Structure 1
Amino acid sequence: MTRPKKDEQTVRSNSIHIRMNDTEYELLQERANAVNMSIAEFIRNALDNQQVTIKYELVADVPEIKKLIGEFGKIGSNLNQIARYFNQGGIISAEMRGEIKKCIRDIYEMKYEVMKMAGDFRGSD
């Protein structure tokens, strides 16, 4: 007498092949053994019972963002020049103090512009 055929829904006709290093494979094998399952059963069970977090990466080619990136670069250059001046023993002057305050003000203004843009992209006000 032959074995009865399996229901079409339970027949596993697809296979997946993945590569693992020895450590990954041993970890998988240990976890499967800990719950008395074969590796295949363990993976299928994990697929059914695990919540997968999907991450999206948005790439925006917006002229305003490119402009802000350029501005950040200029401000960073100015701050590097100021740091170099002080590291070489420079004395703070009213002009230097004013330049530092201007850089900080520019950074805060740009921060708010970026936050506004991010809100626009998310659909916030």
Structure 2
Amino acid sequence: MARPQKDDADKREFTIRVRVTASEKLRIWQMAAENGYTPSDFMRLRTMAATQPLRHKPTPDRELLLNVMAELGKVGSNVNQIARALNSRDETGQLAGIDTDEINQAMQGLDALTAQVLKLLS
């Protein structure tokens, strides 16, 4: 599902630059992380006394799921390419077939995904 479009009034298109020392920058990043915010949302919240920011930094579980989704997308793309190649025909009208190396690469991607999930879960 595509992300909904924002109204022009809701788009953040301007940048405000503030000079800070290295230690101030580090402290801002630490305070943001401690409170579960991105540095931008933390600064926005602190300076404007705004309502809660729209997003928090992802929890480790959510980050794991995001990584899994990314890998599944890659594997799905490979499987789609394999299916397309299997269903395509060459100049003579015969099915073109597919190289077994491509199938093996897709399976290795799936194995890598499984290994990553198991590593992160342990």
Normalised by the length of structure 2, the TM-score is 0.40
Structure of higher CA gyration radius: 1
Normalised by the length of structure 1, the TM-score is 0.39
